[in-house]
Amino acid sequence: MNELYAESQQQADPSKRGEMKAIYDSCQKESDARAREKLRDQLFELVNRYGEESAMAAWRKETDPAKRAELGHQVIHYAAYLEQPELAEEILAGKPVAQAEISLPTNAVPLPLTILKEWDFPTSSSDEKPDVVIRRVGPRNFELWTPTEGWLFNEHGTVVNEANVPRRDGTGREWHGAFLPSGEWITTDLWEGDDRLYLFSGKGTLVNSFPIGSIAGWARADLSGQRWVVSVAGGQDLRISPWGWRQQIDHWFRRCHLKPPASWAFVEKIKSATDYVESRDLGSRGFYLDSKAESSDQKSSIEVESAAHGMWVGLPTYSVSGPGESWRHTFPNGGGGNFGFFPFSSNIWIGDDKYPTRLNRADEHFRSWIIDAKGKAIGWLAAERLDDDPDGKRMWFVDEQGRLLKVSPDGVISEVLQPLLPGASGESAPFAHVLFPDLKLGFFYTKPGHLVLARWP
């Protein structure tokens, strides 16, 4: 208590010290333990509130970069104590947050859509997201999975295979399943927590299964499109071949203690599953509260660390490291894992929702920050990132009105498109969820739980 009071007298504005001294004196005289604790909490709150006001005022006036950075760290610390994470955004912006907004064009070019396939996924409320996973499978295919079903599409949006998963009480973790372009598929957790991998033929026949001793964090087709890679939590990552005649003979060779050709190996232990996939397709990923993403050349990375409890909940810290500049920022964005580098650039974006859906809550909004290689904020967009543009430089974002924005690493918006469906407007207007701009295909929500695959000219 004495240390707290001494701190308050050092940090507070002289005009505030009398108020804190009165609380301190009352606390010293109070004999009731509960009343004394209440007074102590009041003093603690005043110390942090007045400390934040003092540090923020000094930060706004300071011109020396080093001193300003130190004051910024103090403000962020107070922001955590006071549960006011928005204060950290002003430190990131270097000015009032409203002044850092990148203005969106008011005009948009119509983008007529043609529906190819539709799904109705059950949801208990308009805010709940369906448990759906959509990912690219090489240059010409993509897939959609729920815990019990999967669909493989070609580059025209035509279904080329379907999977009906004989799921028991498991969900297949967060990835549910993964196709190869040839139609075979793999999954895990038919029974919750079984920590096994199950391989199915293109016709849906179970051809093999085996334990991996831990959680299969994610799996997908590798760059060759001929094998799967599996990221094993806390274990050895794997590369797995489809179960063919070579693997069957390999199996019998091993049972007879004979050594088969290395190319016939069914399961190969690898250093890291990320070495065998396109980093842009993989995006940010991780376990529990920590995630990371790499630059296009995989020489730089960005990581986010989030607190599970305590005063730092809601204030994740982002760290960028690489051969050039390295920096750290703490601010309230990124709960949905939507962050990473622009294509072949050291500039990054940090948004919130990796797979955006239309917002139905009036007190929330989209916000994606764009930050340069030195850690300086370029500004923020009222939009969320969807996918890369085929030009290999820019990316597509979706704003709260469902418009598609083509954005460069320096925050310049060069194109605005408004997706349209006949007879759909307002809340039923198409809202982009996942785009494949090079294929001119995308997944759109038209109402909660109703997802469509559509193409455009």
Residue 262 Cα to chain centre, angstroms:
38
Say if residue 343 is in the same domain as residue 452.
yes
Say if residue 268 is in the same domain as residue 417.
no
Domain boundary (227, 254, 277) is at 277
Note whether residue 236 is domain-resident.
Answer: yes
pLDDT of residue 440: 97
Nearest Cα neighbor of 77 from 67, 91, 63 is 91
Pairing of strands 216-221, 206-211: unpaired
Say if residue 196 is in the same domain as residue 264.
yes
Say if residue 57 is in the same domain as residue 170.
no
DSSP-based three-state secondary structure for 167: coil
Q: Could you tell me if 300 and 341 are in contact, meaning their C-beta atoms sit under 8 angstroms apart?
A: yes
Q: CB under 8 Å to 282, separation ≥6 — which residues? A: 220, 274
pLDDT-above-90 percentage for the chain: 53
Residue whose pair of structure tokens reads 């130190």 in the numeric block: 70
Q: What is the mean pLDDT of residues 337-351?
A: 92
pLDDT-above-70 percentage for the chain: 88
Q: CB under 8 Å to 318, separation ≥6 — which residues? A: 302, 303, 304, 328, 329, 330, 331, 334, 339, 350
List, in sequence order, every beta strand (DSSP E) within 72-140. 109-112, 114-120, 133-137
Note whether residue 90 is domain-resident.
Answer: no
Pairing of strands 141-145, 133-137: antiparallel
Nearest Cα neighbor of 25 from 47, 5, 9, 3 is 5
Pairing of strands 109-112, 413-420: parallel
CA distance 43 to 50: 10
Is it the case that residue 372 has pLDDT exceeding 70? yes
Q: What is the mean pLDDT of residues 8-12?
A: 57
Note whether residue 108 is domain-resident.
Answer: yes
Q: CB under 8 Å to 93, separation ≥6 — which residues? A: 99, 100, 377, 379, 380
Nearest Cα neighbor of 175 from 283, 267, 269 is 283
Q: How confident is the model at residue 5 (pLDDT cuts 50, 70, 90)?
A: low
Say if residue 211 is in the same domain as residue 101.
no
Say if residue 319 is in the same domain as residue 177.
no
Q: Could you tell me if 208 and 215 are in contact, meaning their C-beta atoms sit under 8 angstroms apart?
A: no
Say if residue 314 is in the same domain as residue 386.
yes
Note whether residue 282 is domain-resident.
Answer: no
Structure-model confidence comparison of residues 51 and 351, the more confident one: 351
Residue 138 Cα to chain centre, angstroms:
21
| Residues of the domain holding 108 | 95-129+287-457
HSE of 426, CA atoms in CB hemisphere, 13 A: 2
CATH number at residue 189: 2.40.128
Domain boundary (234, 249, 277) is at 277
Structure-model confidence comparison of residues 115 and 292, the more confident one: 115
Say if residue 424 is in the same domain as residue 294.
yes
Q: How confident is the model at residue 360 (pLDDT cuts 50, 70, 90)?
A: low
Q: How confident is the model at residue 436 (pLDDT cuts 50, 70, 90)?
A: very high
> What total number of domains does the chain contain?
3
Residues forming a β-bridge with 267: 240
Note whether residue 8 is domain-resident.
Answer: yes
CA distance 165 to 189: 11
Say if residue 269 is in the same domain as residue 298.
no
Assign 3-class secondary structure to 431-453. Answer: EEEEEEHHHCEEEEEEECCEEEE
Q: Could you tell me if 289 and 307 are in contact, meaning their C-beta atoms sit under 8 angstroms apart?
A: yes
Say if residue 102 is in the same domain as residue 171.
no
Q: What is the mean pLDDT of residues 25-52?
A: 76
**Model pTM?**
0.86
CA distance 196 to 282: 22
Structure-model confidence comparison of residues 244 and 449, the more confident one: 449
HSE of 409, CA atoms in CB hemisphere, 13 A: 16
Structure-model confidence comparison of residues 360 and 31, the more confident one: 31
Note whether residue 330 is domain-resident.
Answer: yes
Instruction: Give counts: helices (H), strands (E), the chain.
Output: 7, 30
List, in sequence order, every beta strand (DSSP E) within 253-367. 267-270, 285-287, 290-294, 301-305, 317-321, 327-330, 337-341, 348-353
Note whether residue 134 is domain-resident.
Answer: no
Structure-model confidence comparison of residues 13 and 142, the more confident one: 142
Is it the case that residue 108 has pLDDT exceeding 90? yes
Note whether residue 46 is domain-resident.
Answer: yes
Measure CA of the first residue to CA of the last residue in the chain; give whole Å. Answer: 69
Say if residue 152 is in the same domain as residue 247.
yes
pLDDT of residue 416: 97
Give pLDDT tens digits for 284-325.
Answer: 776 555 788 889 888 899 988 888 777 787 788 899 998 877
Say if residue 9 is in the same domain as residue 54.
yes
Is it the case that residue 361 has pLDDT exceeding 60? no
Alpha helices in 219-308 (DSSP H): 245-255, 279-282
Q: What integer best gives the mean pLDDT of the chain?
A: 86
Give pLDDT tens digits for 159-183.
Answer: 999 999 999 999 999 899 999 999 9
